[in-house]
Chains A and B, each alone.
Chain A
Protein backbone atom coordinates (compact mmCIF):
# COMPACT_ATOMS: atom_id res chain seq x y z
CA UNK A 1 0.00 0.00 0.00
CA UNK A 2 0.99 3.58 -0.53
CA UNK A 3 1.36 4.12 3.19
CA UNK A 4 4.96 3.08 3.37
CA UNK A 5 6.07 4.94 0.27
CA UNK A 6 7.90 8.06 1.51
CA UNK A 7 7.71 11.33 -0.39
CA UNK A 8 10.59 11.94 -2.73
CA UNK A 9 12.74 14.69 -1.24
CA UNK A 10 15.46 16.52 -3.05
CA UNK A 11 18.54 17.45 -1.05
CA UNK A 12 18.59 21.13 -0.22
CA UNK A 13 14.85 21.46 -0.87
CA UNK A 14 12.52 23.09 1.60
CA UNK A 15 11.45 21.10 4.58
CA UNK A 16 7.79 21.54 5.36
CA UNK A 17 8.48 20.41 8.91
CA UNK A 18 9.65 23.95 9.53
CA UNK A 19 6.62 25.70 8.05
CA UNK A 20 4.70 27.18 10.94
CA UNK A 21 0.97 26.86 10.90
CA UNK A 22 0.71 23.89 8.60
CA UNK A 23 -0.74 21.87 11.45
CA UNK A 24 -3.72 24.24 11.47
CA UNK A 25 -4.93 22.47 8.33
CA UNK A 26 -5.75 19.49 10.51
CA UNK A 27 -8.24 21.32 12.68
CA UNK A 28 -11.49 21.21 10.67
CA UNK A 29 -11.17 17.49 9.89
CA UNK A 30 -10.06 16.64 13.41
CA UNK A 31 -12.89 18.64 14.97
CA UNK A 32 -15.59 16.84 12.96
CA UNK A 33 -13.93 13.46 13.42
CA UNK A 34 -13.62 13.85 17.18
CA UNK A 35 -17.14 15.21 17.54
CA UNK A 36 -18.83 12.60 15.33
CA UNK A 37 -16.73 9.45 15.71
CA UNK A 38 -14.18 9.44 18.52
CA UNK A 39 -16.02 11.11 21.39
CA UNK A 40 -19.40 9.35 20.85
CA UNK A 41 -17.62 6.00 20.50
CA UNK A 42 -15.91 6.47 23.87
CA UNK A 43 -19.19 7.72 25.29
CA UNK A 44 -20.87 4.60 23.89
CA UNK A 45 -18.29 2.30 25.42
CA UNK A 46 -18.83 4.03 28.78
CA UNK A 47 -22.64 3.80 28.53
CA UNK A 48 -22.38 0.04 28.08
CA UNK A 49 -21.48 -0.13 31.79
CA UNK A 50 -24.78 1.50 32.80
CA UNK A 51 -28.45 0.48 32.79
CA UNK A 52 -29.58 3.47 30.70
CA UNK A 53 -32.78 2.93 28.70
CA UNK A 54 -32.09 5.81 26.32
CA UNK A 55 -34.93 8.05 27.56
CA UNK A 56 -34.72 8.65 31.31
CA UNK A 57 -32.02 11.01 32.55
CA UNK A 58 -31.30 8.42 35.26
CA UNK A 59 -28.51 5.97 34.63
CA UNK A 60 -26.77 3.74 37.13
CA UNK A 61 -23.34 2.25 36.89
CA UNK A 62 -23.74 -1.52 36.79
CA UNK A 63 -20.21 -2.63 35.88
CA UNK A 64 -19.93 -5.62 33.58
CA UNK A 65 -23.58 -6.70 33.95
CA UNK A 66 -24.51 -6.00 30.31
CA UNK A 67 -21.57 -8.07 29.12
CA UNK A 68 -22.31 -10.90 31.55
CA UNK A 69 -25.91 -10.83 30.32
CA UNK A 70 -24.71 -10.94 26.72
CA UNK A 71 -22.62 -14.06 27.27
CA UNK A 72 -25.56 -15.80 28.96
CA UNK A 73 -28.18 -14.67 26.45
CA UNK A 74 -28.80 -17.47 23.92
CA UNK A 75 -30.25 -14.95 21.43
CA UNK A 76 -27.13 -12.77 21.64
CA UNK A 77 -24.83 -15.76 21.23
CA UNK A 78 -26.91 -16.96 18.27
CA UNK A 79 -26.57 -13.52 16.67
CA UNK A 80 -22.79 -13.69 17.07
CA UNK A 81 -22.79 -17.14 15.47
CA UNK A 82 -24.99 -16.05 12.53
CA UNK A 83 -22.78 -13.00 11.99
CA UNK A 84 -19.68 -15.19 11.84
CA UNK A 85 -21.36 -17.70 9.50
CA UNK A 86 -22.37 -14.92 7.09
CA UNK A 87 -19.02 -13.11 7.30
CA UNK A 88 -16.93 -16.24 6.69
CA UNK A 89 -19.19 -17.58 3.92
CA UNK A 90 -19.05 -14.25 2.12
CA UNK A 91 -15.32 -13.94 2.63
CA UNK A 92 -14.70 -17.27 0.93
CA UNK A 93 -17.37 -17.48 -1.77
CA UNK A 94 -17.54 -13.82 -2.82
CA UNK A 95 -13.79 -13.68 -3.33
CA UNK A 96 -13.67 -17.02 -5.13
CA UNK A 97 -16.41 -15.92 -7.53
CA UNK A 98 -14.80 -12.50 -7.89
CA UNK A 99 -11.43 -14.04 -8.66
CA UNK A 100 -12.83 -16.43 -11.29
CA UNK A 101 -14.69 -13.60 -13.01
CA UNK A 102 -11.60 -11.38 -12.87
CA UNK A 103 -9.47 -14.11 -14.48
CA UNK A 104 -12.13 -14.61 -17.17
CA UNK A 105 -12.44 -10.91 -17.91
CA UNK A 106 -8.68 -10.34 -17.85
CA UNK A 107 -8.26 -12.15 -21.18
CA UNK A 108 -8.53 -11.55 -24.89
CA UNK A 109 -12.30 -12.02 -25.00
CA UNK A 110 -14.07 -9.32 -27.02
CA UNK A 111 -16.84 -8.65 -24.53
CA UNK A 112 -14.49 -8.00 -21.61
CA UNK A 113 -15.28 -4.30 -21.17
CA UNK A 114 -19.04 -4.76 -21.31
CA UNK A 115 -18.87 -7.75 -18.96
CA UNK A 116 -16.84 -5.79 -16.43
CA UNK A 117 -19.51 -3.09 -16.32
CA UNK A 118 -22.31 -5.66 -15.91
CA UNK A 119 -20.59 -7.62 -13.15
CA UNK A 120 -19.83 -4.51 -11.13
CA UNK A 121 -23.26 -2.87 -11.54
CA UNK A 122 -24.95 -4.60 -8.54
CA UNK A 123 -22.26 -3.22 -6.22
CA UNK A 124 -23.41 0.38 -6.71
CA UNK A 125 -27.11 -0.34 -6.16
CA UNK A 126 -28.70 0.59 -2.83
CA UNK A 127 -28.63 -2.55 -0.62
CA UNK A 128 -32.18 -1.87 0.56
CA UNK A 129 -33.34 -2.05 -3.06
CA UNK A 130 -31.43 -5.26 -3.83
CA UNK A 131 -32.84 -6.70 -0.61
CA UNK A 132 -36.43 -6.15 -1.74
CA UNK A 133 -35.66 -7.30 -5.26
CA UNK A 134 -34.34 -10.60 -3.93
CA UNK A 135 -37.17 -10.96 -1.46
CA UNK A 136 -39.38 -11.22 -4.53
CA UNK A 137 -36.97 -13.42 -6.49
CA UNK A 138 -36.66 -15.87 -3.60
CA UNK A 139 -40.40 -16.00 -2.87
CA UNK A 140 -42.71 -18.98 -3.41
CA UNK A 141 -43.65 -17.80 -6.93
CA UNK A 142 -40.39 -15.97 -7.54
CA UNK A 143 -37.92 -16.22 -10.38
CA UNK A 144 -35.54 -18.52 -8.47
CA UNK A 145 -38.20 -21.21 -8.00
CA UNK A 146 -39.41 -20.70 -11.56
CA UNK A 147 -35.85 -21.15 -12.82
CA UNK A 148 -35.23 -24.23 -10.67
CA UNK A 149 -38.50 -25.81 -11.78
CA UNK A 150 -36.94 -26.27 -15.25
CA UNK A 151 -34.65 -28.76 -13.52
CA UNK A 152 -37.48 -30.36 -11.57
CA UNK A 153 -36.60 -28.79 -8.20
CA UNK A 154 -39.74 -28.32 -6.06
CA UNK A 155 -40.48 -24.73 -4.94
CA UNK A 156 -39.11 -23.59 -1.57
CA UNK A 157 -39.76 -20.43 0.43
CA UNK A 158 -36.06 -19.71 0.71
CA UNK A 159 -36.35 -16.80 3.15
CA UNK A 160 -39.21 -18.33 5.12
CA UNK A 161 -37.43 -21.53 6.05
CA UNK A 162 -35.10 -21.57 9.05
CA UNK A 163 -32.68 -23.95 7.35
CA UNK A 164 -32.27 -21.96 4.12
CA UNK A 165 -32.80 -18.28 5.05
CA UNK A 166 -29.25 -17.51 6.15
CA UNK A 167 -27.78 -19.09 3.01
CA UNK A 168 -30.25 -17.22 0.83
CA UNK A 169 -29.02 -13.98 2.41
CA UNK A 170 -25.41 -14.98 1.69
CA UNK A 171 -26.31 -15.59 -1.97
CA UNK A 172 -27.80 -12.10 -2.24
CA UNK A 173 -24.75 -10.44 -0.70
CA UNK A 174 -22.39 -12.48 -2.89
CA UNK A 175 -24.39 -11.58 -6.00
CA UNK A 176 -24.18 -7.93 -5.09
CA UNK A 177 -20.50 -7.72 -4.17
CA UNK A 178 -18.69 -10.37 -6.26
CA UNK A 179 -18.14 -7.61 -8.83
CA UNK A 180 -16.50 -5.51 -6.13
CA UNK A 181 -13.97 -8.27 -5.45
CA UNK A 182 -13.52 -8.70 -9.20
CA UNK A 183 -12.58 -5.04 -9.70
CA UNK A 184 -9.87 -5.23 -7.04
CA UNK A 185 -8.45 -8.51 -8.34
CA UNK A 186 -8.55 -7.12 -11.85
CA UNK A 187 -6.54 -4.04 -10.94
CA UNK A 188 -3.92 -6.35 -9.43
CA UNK A 189 -3.98 -8.79 -12.37
CA UNK A 190 -3.42 -5.97 -14.85
CA UNK A 191 -0.19 -5.12 -13.08
CA UNK A 192 1.18 -8.64 -13.56
CA UNK A 193 3.19 -9.27 -16.75
CA UNK A 194 1.02 -11.07 -19.33
CA UNK A 195 3.51 -13.92 -19.79
CA UNK A 196 3.16 -14.98 -16.17
CA UNK A 197 -0.60 -15.36 -16.41
CA UNK A 198 -0.46 -17.06 -19.80
CA UNK A 199 2.19 -19.45 -18.60
CA UNK A 200 -0.04 -20.42 -15.72
CA UNK A 201 -3.29 -20.82 -17.63
CA UNK A 202 -2.72 -21.97 -21.19
CA UNK A 203 -0.60 -25.10 -20.90
CA UNK A 204 -2.45 -28.34 -20.46
CA UNK A 205 -0.87 -29.84 -17.39
CA UNK A 206 -2.42 -28.79 -14.08
CA UNK A 207 -3.57 -25.20 -14.69
CA UNK A 208 -4.85 -24.96 -11.12
CA UNK A 209 -1.55 -25.90 -9.59
CA UNK A 210 0.27 -23.58 -11.95
CA UNK A 211 -2.11 -20.78 -11.00
CA UNK A 212 -1.49 -21.50 -7.33
CA UNK A 213 2.27 -21.39 -7.56
CA UNK A 214 2.74 -18.68 -10.20
CA UNK A 215 -0.13 -16.15 -10.14
CA UNK A 216 -1.35 -16.42 -6.54
CA UNK A 217 1.80 -14.96 -4.94
CA UNK A 218 1.50 -11.99 -7.32
CA UNK A 219 -2.09 -11.50 -6.18
CA UNK A 220 -1.21 -11.26 -2.49
CA UNK A 221 -1.99 -7.50 -2.20
CA UNK A 222 -5.49 -7.79 -3.66
CA UNK A 223 -6.18 -10.96 -1.67
CA UNK A 224 -5.33 -9.08 1.54
CA UNK A 225 -7.60 -6.17 0.69
CA UNK A 226 -10.48 -8.33 -0.55
CA UNK A 227 -10.43 -10.64 2.47
CA UNK A 228 -10.41 -7.69 4.85
CA UNK A 229 -13.14 -5.76 3.08
CA UNK A 230 -15.45 -8.75 2.73
CA UNK A 231 -15.11 -9.98 6.30
CA UNK A 232 -15.54 -6.50 7.79
CA UNK A 233 -18.55 -5.90 5.51
CA UNK A 234 -19.96 -9.28 6.53
CA UNK A 235 -19.54 -8.65 10.25
CA UNK A 236 -21.36 -5.32 10.04
CA UNK A 237 -24.13 -6.56 7.71
CA UNK A 238 -27.50 -4.95 8.43
CA UNK A 239 -29.47 -3.54 5.48
CA UNK A 240 -30.06 -6.68 3.44
CA UNK A 241 -30.92 -8.78 6.50
CA UNK A 242 -33.20 -6.12 7.90
CA UNK A 243 -35.31 -5.74 4.75
CA UNK A 244 -35.36 -9.40 3.69
CA UNK A 245 -36.02 -11.24 6.95
CA UNK A 246 -35.78 -8.75 9.83
CA UNK A 247 -33.73 -11.42 11.60
CA UNK A 248 -36.33 -14.16 11.17
CA UNK A 249 -37.72 -16.72 10.69
CA UNK A 250 -37.46 -17.71 14.33
CA UNK A 251 -34.31 -15.62 14.79
CA UNK A 252 -32.43 -17.81 12.32
CA UNK A 253 -30.89 -14.82 10.52
CA UNK A 254 -30.49 -12.47 13.49
CA UNK A 255 -27.07 -10.79 13.15
CA UNK A 256 -25.27 -8.65 15.73
CA UNK A 257 -26.32 -5.50 13.87
CA UNK A 258 -30.03 -6.36 13.72
CA UNK A 259 -29.96 -7.61 17.32
CA UNK A 260 -28.34 -4.45 18.65
CA UNK A 261 -30.74 -2.30 16.64
CA UNK A 262 -33.73 -4.13 18.13
CA UNK A 263 -32.42 -3.85 21.67
CA UNK A 264 -31.42 -0.21 21.46
CA UNK A 265 -34.34 1.19 19.49
CA UNK A 266 -37.25 -1.22 19.79
CA UNK A 267 -36.89 -2.89 23.19
CA UNK A 268 -35.70 0.27 24.98
CA UNK A 269 -32.52 -1.36 26.27
CA UNK A 270 -30.04 1.20 25.02
CA UNK A 271 -27.14 0.16 27.21
CA UNK A 272 -27.44 -3.50 26.24
CA UNK A 273 -27.57 -2.54 22.56
CA UNK A 274 -24.40 -0.53 23.00
CA UNK A 275 -22.68 -3.43 24.78
CA UNK A 276 -23.36 -5.55 21.69
CA UNK A 277 -21.94 -2.77 19.50
CA UNK A 278 -18.78 -2.76 21.63
CA UNK A 279 -18.37 -6.53 21.23
CA UNK A 280 -18.88 -6.10 17.47
CA UNK A 281 -16.23 -3.36 17.41
CA UNK A 282 -13.78 -5.60 19.25
CA UNK A 283 -14.53 -8.50 16.92
CA UNK A 284 -13.93 -6.32 13.85
CA UNK A 285 -10.75 -4.93 15.42
CA UNK A 286 -9.33 -8.35 16.28
CA UNK A 287 -10.12 -9.97 12.95
CA UNK A 288 -8.97 -7.10 10.75
CA UNK A 289 -5.89 -6.46 12.90
CA UNK A 290 -4.94 -10.14 12.93
CA UNK A 291 -5.57 -10.50 9.23
CA UNK A 292 -3.49 -7.44 8.49
CA UNK A 293 -0.52 -8.80 10.41
CA UNK A 294 -0.68 -12.34 8.99
CA UNK A 295 -1.26 -11.32 5.39
CA UNK A 296 1.23 -8.49 5.64
CA UNK A 297 3.90 -10.99 6.64
CA UNK A 298 2.83 -13.25 3.75
CA UNK A 299 3.10 -10.35 1.30
CA UNK A 300 6.65 -9.61 2.36
CA UNK A 301 7.56 -13.31 2.18
CA UNK A 302 6.28 -13.68 -1.37
CA UNK A 303 8.14 -10.74 -2.81
Chain B
Protein backbone atom coordinates (compact mmCIF):
# COMPACT_ATOMS: atom_id res chain seq x y z
CA UNK B 1 0.00 0.00 0.00
CA UNK B 2 2.99 2.30 -0.46
CA UNK B 3 1.57 3.46 -3.79
CA UNK B 4 -1.96 4.42 -4.70
CA UNK B 5 -3.35 1.23 -6.23
CA UNK B 6 -6.82 0.43 -7.57
CA UNK B 7 -7.61 -1.15 -4.22
CA UNK B 8 -6.87 2.16 -2.54
CA UNK B 9 -9.18 3.80 -5.08
CA UNK B 10 -12.05 1.51 -4.12
CA UNK B 11 -11.39 2.15 -0.44
CA UNK B 12 -11.39 5.88 -1.11
CA UNK B 13 -14.77 5.68 -2.89
CA UNK B 14 -16.30 3.60 -0.08
CA UNK B 15 -15.01 5.98 2.59
CA UNK B 16 -16.27 9.07 0.78
CA UNK B 17 -19.68 7.48 0.36
CA UNK B 18 -19.74 6.67 4.09
CA UNK B 19 -18.79 10.26 4.91
CA UNK B 20 -21.59 11.55 2.67
CA UNK B 21 -24.10 9.38 4.57
CA UNK B 22 -22.67 10.68 7.86
CA UNK B 23 -23.02 14.23 6.64
CA UNK B 24 -26.66 13.95 5.46
CA UNK B 25 -28.13 14.99 8.86
CA UNK B 26 -26.04 18.18 8.86
CA UNK B 27 -26.96 18.81 5.23
CA UNK B 28 -30.67 18.58 6.13
CA UNK B 29 -30.03 20.91 9.08
CA UNK B 30 -28.52 23.55 6.80
CA UNK B 31 -30.96 23.38 3.87
CA UNK B 32 -34.02 23.31 6.15
CA UNK B 33 -32.85 26.46 7.92
CA UNK B 34 -32.49 28.17 4.53
CA UNK B 35 -36.01 27.24 3.35
CA UNK B 36 -39.19 29.25 3.62
CA UNK B 37 -41.91 27.66 5.82
CA UNK B 38 -44.03 26.84 2.77
CA UNK B 39 -41.19 25.27 0.76
CA UNK B 40 -42.75 22.61 -1.49
CA UNK B 41 -39.82 20.15 -1.60
CA UNK B 42 -39.06 17.17 0.66
CA UNK B 43 -36.49 17.37 3.44
CA UNK B 44 -33.64 16.18 1.22
CA UNK B 45 -34.39 18.69 -1.56
CA UNK B 46 -32.53 21.97 -1.95
CA UNK B 47 -34.51 25.12 -1.02
CA UNK B 48 -36.91 26.37 -3.73
CA UNK B 49 -36.05 29.87 -2.56
CA UNK B 50 -33.19 30.63 -0.18
CA UNK B 51 -34.03 32.87 2.80
CA UNK B 52 -32.05 34.10 5.81
CA UNK B 53 -35.18 35.28 7.61
CA UNK B 54 -35.23 32.18 9.84
CA UNK B 55 -31.87 33.13 11.31
CA UNK B 56 -32.99 36.66 12.13
CA UNK B 57 -36.23 35.39 13.68
CA UNK B 58 -34.50 32.67 15.70
CA UNK B 59 -31.93 35.14 17.01
CA UNK B 60 -34.61 37.55 18.20
CA UNK B 61 -37.23 35.12 19.45
CA UNK B 62 -34.89 32.58 21.05
CA UNK B 63 -32.92 35.07 23.20
CA UNK B 64 -29.89 33.33 21.77
CA UNK B 65 -27.58 36.34 22.12
CA UNK B 66 -28.05 36.35 25.87
CA UNK B 67 -27.60 32.57 26.08
CA UNK B 68 -24.41 32.65 24.01
CA UNK B 69 -23.04 35.34 26.35
CA UNK B 70 -23.86 33.28 29.44
CA UNK B 71 -22.40 30.11 27.94
CA UNK B 72 -19.21 31.98 27.07
CA UNK B 73 -18.85 33.38 30.62
CA UNK B 74 -19.53 30.02 32.26
CA UNK B 75 -17.22 28.11 29.95
CA UNK B 76 -14.30 30.55 30.09
CA UNK B 77 -14.42 31.08 33.87
CA UNK B 78 -14.67 27.39 34.72
CA UNK B 79 -11.94 26.38 32.29
CA UNK B 80 -9.54 29.02 33.65
CA UNK B 81 -10.18 27.85 37.22
CA UNK B 82 -9.74 24.24 36.14
CA UNK B 83 -6.44 24.88 34.38
CA UNK B 84 -4.90 26.85 37.26
CA UNK B 85 -6.07 24.66 40.13
CA UNK B 86 -5.65 21.25 38.51
CA UNK B 87 -2.15 21.97 37.21
CA UNK B 88 -1.14 23.25 40.66
CA UNK B 89 -2.54 20.14 42.31
CA UNK B 90 -0.85 17.85 39.80
CA UNK B 91 2.58 19.18 40.84
CA UNK B 92 2.70 17.57 44.30
CA UNK B 93 0.67 14.58 43.10
CA UNK B 94 3.24 13.81 40.40
CA UNK B 95 6.41 14.70 42.30
CA UNK B 96 5.81 13.55 45.86
CA UNK B 97 6.12 9.80 46.12
CA UNK B 98 4.92 9.43 49.69
CA UNK B 99 1.90 7.35 50.60
CA UNK B 100 -0.44 10.26 51.30
CA UNK B 101 0.21 11.66 47.85
CA UNK B 102 -0.86 8.40 46.20
CA UNK B 103 -3.94 8.26 48.41
CA UNK B 104 -4.84 11.84 47.50
CA UNK B 105 -4.54 10.95 43.81
CA UNK B 106 -6.87 7.96 44.27
CA UNK B 107 -9.24 10.23 46.17
CA UNK B 108 -9.48 12.53 43.17
CA UNK B 109 -9.88 9.61 40.76
CA UNK B 110 -12.92 8.31 42.64
CA UNK B 111 -14.64 11.38 41.20
CA UNK B 112 -14.32 9.89 37.71
CA UNK B 113 -16.65 7.05 38.67
CA UNK B 114 -19.39 9.01 40.47
CA UNK B 115 -22.32 9.95 38.22
CA UNK B 116 -22.81 13.66 38.64
CA UNK B 117 -26.54 13.30 39.27
CA UNK B 118 -25.67 11.98 42.72
CA UNK B 119 -24.04 15.25 43.79
CA UNK B 120 -26.34 17.41 41.68
CA UNK B 121 -29.38 16.97 43.90
CA UNK B 122 -27.93 17.66 47.39
CA UNK B 123 -25.80 20.45 45.91
CA UNK B 124 -28.96 22.09 44.62
CA UNK B 125 -29.92 22.78 48.24
CA UNK B 126 -26.45 24.08 49.12
CA UNK B 127 -26.44 26.44 46.14
CA UNK B 128 -29.85 27.69 47.18
CA UNK B 129 -28.65 28.38 50.73
CA UNK B 130 -25.65 30.27 49.35
CA UNK B 131 -27.98 32.31 47.09
CA UNK B 132 -26.04 31.12 44.06
CA UNK B 133 -28.97 29.31 42.48
CA UNK B 134 -30.12 31.00 39.29
CA UNK B 135 -26.74 32.63 38.69
CA UNK B 136 -24.00 31.56 36.31
CA UNK B 137 -21.61 31.31 39.29
CA UNK B 138 -23.37 28.19 40.53
CA UNK B 139 -22.49 26.61 37.20
CA UNK B 140 -18.87 27.85 37.24
CA UNK B 141 -18.36 26.38 40.70
CA UNK B 142 -20.09 23.15 39.76
CA UNK B 143 -18.07 22.54 36.58
CA UNK B 144 -14.82 23.46 38.34
CA UNK B 145 -15.48 20.67 40.85
CA UNK B 146 -16.98 18.18 38.45
CA UNK B 147 -14.18 18.36 35.88
CA UNK B 148 -11.36 18.59 38.44
CA UNK B 149 -10.62 14.83 38.65
CA UNK B 150 -10.30 14.43 34.89
CA UNK B 151 -8.13 17.55 34.53
CA UNK B 152 -5.87 16.43 37.39
CA UNK B 153 -5.64 12.98 35.81
CA UNK B 154 -4.37 14.50 32.55
CA UNK B 155 -1.92 16.93 34.17
CA UNK B 156 -0.50 14.35 36.59
CA UNK B 157 0.08 11.80 33.83
CA UNK B 158 1.89 14.41 31.74
CA UNK B 159 3.99 15.71 34.63
CA UNK B 160 5.11 12.24 35.67
CA UNK B 161 6.60 11.74 32.23
CA UNK B 162 8.35 15.13 32.31
CA UNK B 163 12.05 15.12 33.34
CA UNK B 164 12.73 16.77 36.66
CA UNK B 165 15.96 18.54 35.56
CA UNK B 166 14.28 21.88 34.81
CA UNK B 167 12.89 22.11 38.32
CA UNK B 168 16.28 21.16 39.75
CA UNK B 169 17.96 23.95 37.84
CA UNK B 170 15.39 26.41 39.14
CA UNK B 171 15.80 25.09 42.68
CA UNK B 172 19.57 25.51 42.52
CA UNK B 173 19.00 29.10 41.42
CA UNK B 174 17.06 29.51 44.66
CA UNK B 175 13.64 30.00 43.11
CA UNK B 176 10.63 29.36 45.35
CA UNK B 177 8.15 26.59 44.62
CA UNK B 178 5.46 28.85 43.21
CA UNK B 179 7.95 30.73 41.02
CA UNK B 180 9.39 27.45 39.78
CA UNK B 181 5.94 26.21 38.97
CA UNK B 182 4.72 29.32 37.22
CA UNK B 183 7.91 30.31 35.36
CA UNK B 184 9.44 26.93 34.59
CA UNK B 185 6.88 24.17 34.79
CA UNK B 186 3.65 25.73 33.56
CA UNK B 187 5.11 26.73 30.15
CA UNK B 188 6.35 23.14 29.72
CA UNK B 189 2.83 21.90 30.35
CA UNK B 190 1.46 23.74 27.32
CA UNK B 191 0.56 20.71 25.18
CA UNK B 192 -1.50 19.12 27.94
CA UNK B 193 -2.99 22.50 28.91
CA UNK B 194 -4.35 22.67 25.35
CA UNK B 195 -5.91 19.24 25.76
CA UNK B 196 -7.40 20.08 29.16
CA UNK B 197 -8.85 23.31 27.76
CA UNK B 198 -10.39 21.73 24.67
CA UNK B 199 -11.95 18.75 26.41
CA UNK B 200 -13.41 20.93 29.16
CA UNK B 201 -14.68 23.63 26.81
CA UNK B 202 -16.64 21.09 24.78
CA UNK B 203 -18.04 19.26 27.82
CA UNK B 204 -19.06 22.44 29.64
CA UNK B 205 -20.46 24.29 26.63
CA UNK B 206 -22.66 21.31 25.73
CA UNK B 207 -23.92 20.39 29.20
CA UNK B 208 -27.68 20.49 29.51
CA UNK B 209 -28.93 18.97 32.76
CA UNK B 210 -27.01 21.19 35.19
CA UNK B 211 -28.15 24.56 33.80
CA UNK B 212 -31.63 23.11 33.30
CA UNK B 213 -31.79 22.64 37.08
CA UNK B 214 -29.62 25.41 38.47
CA UNK B 215 -30.82 28.22 36.23
CA UNK B 216 -34.48 27.26 35.85
CA UNK B 217 -36.87 30.12 36.38
CA UNK B 218 -34.08 32.70 36.66
CA UNK B 219 -34.34 34.19 33.18
CA UNK B 220 -30.65 33.32 32.73
CA UNK B 221 -29.95 30.52 30.27
CA UNK B 222 -27.06 28.78 28.62
CA UNK B 223 -27.20 27.69 24.99
CA UNK B 224 -28.50 24.10 25.43
CA UNK B 225 -31.29 25.26 27.76
CA UNK B 226 -32.17 28.14 25.42
CA UNK B 227 -32.53 25.65 22.55
CA UNK B 228 -34.68 23.44 24.75
CA UNK B 229 -36.99 26.32 25.64
CA UNK B 230 -36.98 27.63 22.07
CA UNK B 231 -37.98 24.29 20.55
CA UNK B 232 -40.63 23.84 23.24
CA UNK B 233 -42.15 27.13 22.11
CA UNK B 234 -41.85 26.83 18.33
CA UNK B 235 -42.32 23.09 18.07
CA UNK B 236 -42.68 21.81 14.50
CA UNK B 237 -41.72 25.18 12.97
CA UNK B 238 -38.65 23.34 11.82
CA UNK B 239 -37.21 26.05 9.55
CA UNK B 240 -37.06 28.41 12.50
CA UNK B 241 -35.93 25.72 14.95
CA UNK B 242 -33.10 24.57 12.67
CA UNK B 243 -31.87 28.13 12.20
CA UNK B 244 -31.75 28.37 16.00
CA UNK B 245 -29.83 25.10 16.22
CA UNK B 246 -27.29 26.33 13.70
CA UNK B 247 -26.74 29.59 15.58
CA UNK B 248 -26.29 27.69 18.82
CA UNK B 249 -23.80 25.14 17.53
CA UNK B 250 -21.92 27.68 15.39
CA UNK B 251 -19.38 28.83 18.03
CA UNK B 252 -18.34 25.32 18.99
CA UNK B 253 -18.14 24.17 15.35
CA UNK B 254 -16.12 27.25 14.46
CA UNK B 255 -13.60 26.45 17.20
CA UNK B 256 -13.54 22.87 15.96
CA UNK B 257 -12.90 23.69 12.31
CA UNK B 258 -10.29 26.34 13.12
CA UNK B 259 -8.39 24.09 15.52
CA UNK B 260 -9.36 20.70 14.09
CA UNK B 261 -5.90 19.15 14.34
CA UNK B 262 -5.44 20.26 17.94
CA UNK B 263 -8.97 19.25 18.90
CA UNK B 264 -8.68 15.76 17.39
CA UNK B 265 -5.21 15.25 18.85
CA UNK B 266 -6.48 16.53 22.20
CA UNK B 267 -9.26 13.98 22.30
CA UNK B 268 -6.96 11.19 21.22
CA UNK B 269 -3.93 11.96 23.39
CA UNK B 270 -5.91 13.15 26.37
CA UNK B 271 -7.82 9.94 26.59
CA UNK B 272 -4.73 7.86 26.20
CA UNK B 273 -3.33 9.55 29.28
Taking Cβ atoms with an 8 Å cutoff, the residues of A that contact B are: 1-3, 5-10, 13-14, 16-17, 19, 21-23, 25-26, 28-30, 32-33, 35-38, 40-41, 43-45, 47, 54, 101, 104-105, 107-112, 115-130, 132-134, 136-137, 141-143, 146-147, 175, 180, 183-184, 186-188, 198, 201-202, 221-222, 225, 229, 235-236, 238-239, 242-243, 257, 260-261, 264-265, 270, 273-274, 277-278, 280-281, 284-285, 288-289
**Given A22-B95, A28-B88, A108-B8: A33 and B148 interface contact (C-beta under 8 Å):** yes
CB-CB under 8 A from A129, the residues of chain B are: 224, 227, 245, 248-249
> Shortest distance in angstroms between A273's beta carbon and chain B's nearest beta carbon?
7
**Given A43-B122, A146-B44: A133 and B25 interface contact (C-beta under 8 Å):** yes
CB-CB under 8 A from A236, the residues of chain B are: 115, 117
> Shortest distance in angstroms between B68's beta carbon and chain A's nearest beta carbon?
12
> Shortest distance in angstroms between B89's beta carbon and chain A's nearest beta carbon?
4
Chain B residues bordering chain A, tally (CB within 8 A): 111
Flag whether B59 is at the interface (Cβ < 8 A): no
> Shortest distance in angstroms between B84's beta carbon and chain A's nearest beta carbon?
8
Which B residues, 88 to 126, have Cβ-Cβ distances below 8 Å to chain A? 88-89, 91-98, 101, 104, 107-108, 110-111, 113-123, 125-126
**Given A129-B249, A186-B268: A111 and B16 interface contact (C-beta under 8 Å):** yes
Contact B8 A121 (CB under 8 A): no
Closest 7 CB pairs of A and B: A36-B145, A2-B157, A187-B268, A29-B89, A1-B273, A40-B119, A109-B12
A7-B163, A36-B144, A273-B121 known; 18 other A-B pairs, CB under 8 Å? Answer: A2-B160, A3-B157, A16-B167, A22-B95, A23-B101, A25-B92, A25-B177, A29-B108, A37-B145, A40-B119, A104-B18, A108-B1, A127-B206, A128-B206, A129-B249, A133-B242, A147-B24, A261-B117
CB-CB under 8 A from B256, the residues of chain A are: 121, 124
CB-CB under 8 A from B189, the residues of chain A are: none
Contact A121 B118 (CB under 8 A): no
**Given A6-B160, A22-B91, A37-B119: A126 and B8 interface contact (C-beta under 8 Å):** no
Contact B121 A30 (CB under 8 A): no
Contact B29 A133 (CB under 8 A): yes
**Given A16-B167, A17-B97, A37-B119: A239 and B208 interface contact (C-beta under 8 Å):** yes
Query: Which residue, of B113, B181, B265, has the highest number of chain A Cβ atoms within 10 A?
Result: B113
Chain B's interface: helix, strand, loop or mixed, by majority? helix
Contact B44 A147 (CB under 8 A): yes
Q: How far is the CA of A20 from the CA of B172 in the complex (A)?
A: 16
Contact A10 B164 (CB under 8 A): yes
CB-CB under 8 A from B111, the residues of chain A are: 33, 37-38
CB-CB under 8 A from A112, the residues of chain B are: 15
Flag whether B152 is at the interface (Cβ < 8 A): yes
Contact A126 B98 (CB under 8 A): no
Chain A's interface: helix, strand, loop or mixed, by majority? helix
26 pairs, A vs B, C-beta closer than 8 Å: A10-B165, A10-B168, A16-B95, A22-B96, A25-B89, A28-B85, A36-B119, A38-B107, A40-B119, A107-B11, A111-B16, A129-B245, A132-B231, A133-B28, A136-B241, A137-B25, A141-B42, A143-B28, A147-B44, A183-B264, A184-B267, A184-B272, A187-B265, A202-B7, A239-B208, A243-B231
